[in-house]
Structure 1
Amino acid sequence: MRVLGKSSEDEMVACFLSGELSSRRFGQNLRSHLAAAGQAERLLTHPDLSDAGANVARRALLAATRGYGKNRDLFENFPAHVTWARALLSADEAACVRYLDFSYWVELSGGSRRPTDAAARITAGLRAFDVPNDPFIDAAHALIRGERFPPLILVGERQDNLVCLEGHLRLTAYAMVGFPIDIECLIGTAPTMGRWAR
């Protein structure tokens, strides 16, 4: 792992929301919350981390849509104090990242929560809970065409034992094409992260 520098909670929140904005599954709900808050998509597409008000608005959005800072939904048991860094992961390191402990990702990976196992199962035509695999295949093709993805967000008690917080589809697409490049990530560590990142 090559650590590129320090990051922050504000950067993580902005990165998380940017990833979800482009998601087929979560994008529309996020846009609805943006509209209800009277905010433009620019808040997420062009984040100014030096703008304290914008940072507060983004944290409120992540709280409303995913329970961030509220100890609920995706962020139940997530530590309040996390150290964030920007880093590049090698292919071997990325292959060791685990999916979060959620039934769909457990099923897709055949129980291992490893992206390489999920990639093999997708390539073999297996589905988790009969959900189509088209988004993974489309993302893998985008990588082959040279498209660049936003950073993954990974967390753990240490930097050598990481669970994916945001970017599961992108992580799977990287695995499907054999992790051809080092992967840009935001990595969050905390001594109590094990309560979330099982």
Structure 2
Amino acid sequence: MKLLLPVTLDEVVAVWLGAEVHSNRFGTIVCSMLRRDGLPAALVTDPDLTDEQANAARLGLLREYRGFDQADISFDTYIGGLPVRDLAWWRVSLDAGDVARLHYINWDYWVEVTGGTRLATTLASAKLAEPGETDTIDTALRDAFVAGTPVPEIILVDSGPNTRLVVLEGHVRATAMAMAGDNLNECTALLGRSDVVADQWFY
């Protein structure tokens, strides 16, 4: 994994929302909140990171539906107090070897479907072994990663160089990346890094 450029917390929030506005699980919630507050869809789909009011609005949205606490800049209900202000945020490049190290967060569902490993490659192997059970979203995303088609960046954390890589946002995309295996076209992700991560329950 290569560290490319530092990124701001505002960009992390924008990437998070930009991915989830298209998700089956959260897209409806994000869109309804935008309509409720009279905010344009472009706030999320075409973010202007130089606009401080827009940055604050996106932060407010993420705070409301994901438990992102605006007062101390930490994830509250979703992650359980991760002090994201203490993390150094980077845009990184990922190859197939890096993807082999991706772990899902320590939730019961991800532990169960991976037989306790929490590795994206474990679930990817199971999906590839049973093509009839593979979701079309997984295969479409896998093909996009192989072709190098732009896909929203996943958001990761680790506690330092060569430590466990854990997915904060983008579990479905992480699975598709693992399904691509050695055919994965090198892609980018966002990474939050700090030794405080190692103390978090989800890590």
Could you state the TM-score of these two structures normalised by the residue count of structure 2?
A: 0.87
Unmatched segments (≥5 aa) in structure 2: none
SS at match of 2:195: coil
Q: Does the alignment pair 1:175 with 2:169? A: no
SS at match of 1:178: helix
Q: Residue in 1 aligned with 2:192? A: 188
Aligned-pair CA distance for 1:110: 2.2
**After TM superposition, where is structure 1 displaced by more than 6 Å over at least 4 residues in a row?**
none
Q: Residue in 1 aligned with 2:101? A: 96
Out of 153, 156, 159, which is 1:157 matched to?
159
Q: 1: CA distance between counterparts of 2:180 and 2:35?
A: 37
Q: 2: CA distance between counterparts of 1:146 and 1:193?
A: 30
Identity of matched residues, %: 34
Could you state the TM-score of these two structures normalised by the residue count of structure 1?
A: 0.89
Q: Residue in 1 aligned with 2:140? A: 138
Q: Does the alignment pair 1:124 with 2:140? A: no
Aligned-pair CA distance for 1:34: 1.4
Q: 1: CA distance between counterparts of 2:128 and 2:115?
A: 13
Deviations 1:92-137 (A, max 9, x none): 112101111122222222221111111011122399xxx9734323
Of 115-124 and 99-108, deviating more is 99-108
Aligned-pair CA distance for 1:150: 1.4
Specify whether residues 192 and 62 from structure 1 end up closer, same or farther in structure 2 by C-alpha distance, changes over 3 A only: same
Please, what is the CA RMSD of the aligned residues? 2.2
Aligned-pair CA distance for 1:177: 1.6
Q: 2: CA distance between counterparts of 1:182 and 1:153?
A: 16
Specify whether residues 87 and 142 from structure 1 end up closer, same or farther in structure 2 by C-alpha distance, changes over 3 A only: closer
Q: Which amino acid aligns with 1:193?
A: V
Aligned-pair CA distance for 1:77: 2.0
Aligned-pair CA distance for 1:192: 1.3
